[in-house]
Structure 1
Amino acid sequence: MVVETDQELQKLKEIGRICGLTLKKMSEAIEPGMTTAELDAIGRRLLEQEGAQSAPEECYQFPGATCISVNEEVAHGIPGDRVLKPGDLVNIDVSAVKDGFFADTGASFVMAPIAPRTEKLCRDGKRAMWTGINQVRAGQPYAKIGQAIGDFARKNRYTLIQNLASHGVGRSLHEEPSELATWPDPSERRMIENGQVFTVEPFLSLGANWAEGGDDPWTLYSEPRALTVQFEHTIVATRAGVVILTLVD
């Protein structure tokens, strides 16, 4: 989607706020002993209170309001009877729709006690996302995003999952521009359009390069198995930089 009116921008800001707030409240509610289904129910309630609907449910009939991935799960984890334990690495991915406008956000969290290496991975995962966002400006190549994140990962001795990409969003959950690499991609030739809405969401890992399916149609696992974090914002590119739709205080 390319934003053309202030009304569109305000609608995007509203659903972005809802997604960001839901992610924040869910992260604050995480505690050992709760199930991922119980955590998902908190997210569902928050979305409904704001008049929004789960985008994965609406678009893909995903069996949950949010995606919750734990430890070895990289993405698209199905909420269920898995019990969260101290030290677990938990990724929450919230995407929703309201009044025909979509936004998408996600982040990884660790429950105490936190291993120093995992704490650093989370901190650097967020830094990798901001490294990519800082490259965004209308008229610049999309390739700068993946190149900058790749440089960051290499310098800090991480790997990147290279089959889970950023994507356009706005009028649907996944739309053009599709398959926006958050790793160096020499074949990427597209340029960022003024008003373009898309995500920046690198998957930073302690050794994995790929995400592969498991026993259900949704959950993805790292290959080779290694702890992996994801941080994501939905943004609007402008000539002056970016408007971050899913950032909340």
Structure 2
Amino acid sequence: MTLTHQDELDGLKAIGRIVANTMQAMAKAMQPGMTTRELDDIGRALLDQAGAISAPQATYDFPGATCISVNEDIAHGIPGPRILATGDLVNIDVSASKNGYYADTGATFRLGPVAPALDQLCRDGKRAMQIGIAEVSHNKPLANIGNAIGRFARSRGYTLIRNLASHGVGRALHEYPEEIATWPNHDKRRIHRGLVLTVEPFLSRGAHFANQARDGWTLYADPTAPVVQYEHTIVATDKGPIIVTLPG
């Protein structure tokens, strides 16, 4: 989507707040012994209360209102009977629509204390996203996003998942530009004023790709290694990025 009017930005910010608030509320509600289905039920109720529609469910018939991925599962995890435990890394990805506008956000949360290396991975994963967001501005190359993230990852000894990309969003969950690399690349396309997109690098301590599990949805790291993901929906302007998926 390319924004051209203030009312479009207002609509995008409205759904952005909803998905951000939903994700944060789910994270606060997490506790050991809870199943991922119970956590998803909280997210579903919050989206319903806000008048929003789960985007993966409506668009792809995903079997859950939100995606919840635990430890070795790094994306598109199906909510179900899995029981959360202290020390888990839990990725919560919430995308939804309201009044024709879509927003997408996600983050990896620690359930209680985790090993120092995993704690650092989480902090660096968030930093990698912020570095990518800083490259979103009118007339900049799309490649700058992945190249900046790549420099940061390399300097810290991390790898990046290279088949899970950022994407356009706004009037649909996935739209032009369909794939935006969050790893070093040579994409010749340029960002234009008003472009709506996600920035969502998957930072890892050794994995390079995501493989699909037998359930047809859940993705896991290859080779096996810890992975974190942080994601915002962004609007490009002449003065830099506007983050619309902020709680409020």
State the TM-score, normalizing by the size of structure 2: 0.99
In structure 1, the partner of 2:66 is 66
Q: Is the 8 A contact 2:166 2:198 kept in 1?
A: yes
2:37 and 2:81 in contact (8 A); partners too: yes
Note the C-alpha offset of 1:112: 1.6
Tell me if 1:238 matches 2:237.
yes
RMSD across aligned positions (CA):
0.6
Where do residues 127-206 of structure 1 align in structure 2 (5 Å cutoff)? Answer: 127-186=127-186, 188-206=187-205
Counterparts of 1:136 and 1:195, CA distance in 2: 11
Aligned counterparts of 2:33 and 2:193: Cα–Cα separation in 1: 46
CA drift at 1:113: 2.5
Mapped partners of 1:155, 1:163: distance in 2 = 21
Aligned pairs for 1:1-249 within 5 A: 1-186=1-186, 188-248=187-247
Mapped to 1, the partners of 2:212 and 2:75 lie a distance apart of 10
Q: CA deviation at 1:215?
A: 1.4
Write the deviation string for residues 182-229 of structure 1: whole angstroms up to 9, x where unpaired. Answer: 00112x000001000000000000100000011101000000010100
1:18-73 C-alpha deviation (Å, 9 max, x unpaired): 01100110111111000000000000011011000100011000000000000000
In structure 2, what is the Cα distance between the partners aligned to 1:38 and 1:112?
Answer: 18
SS in 1 for 2:56: helix
Counterpart AA for 2:241: V
Secondary structure of 2:198's counterpart equals strand
Please state whether the residue corresponding to 1:12 is helix, strand or coil: helix
What SS does the aligned partner of 1:41 have?
Answer: helix
Aligned sequence identity (%): 60
Query: Separation in 1 of the partners of 2:241 and 2:38?
Result: 35
CA contact (8 A) 2:160 2:183 kept: yes
Structure 2, unpaired ranges of 5+:
none
So what's the TM-score if we normalise by structure 1? 0.99
CA–CA distance in structure 1, aligned partners of residues 135 and 234 of structure 2: 12
Q: Secondary structure at the match of 2:105?
A: strand
Shift of residue 143 of structure 1? 0.6
Distance in 1 between residues matched to 2:94 and 2:247, nearest whole Å: 14
User: Unmatched 5+ residue regions in structure 1?
Assistant: none
Instruction: Please identify runs of 4+ aligned residues in structure 1 that moved more than 6 A.
Output: none
SS of equivalent to 2:92: strand
Distance 1:52 1:248 in 2: 15
Please state how far the C-alpha of 1:110 moved relative to its aligned partner: 1.1
CA distance in 1, matches of 2:107, 2:100: 24
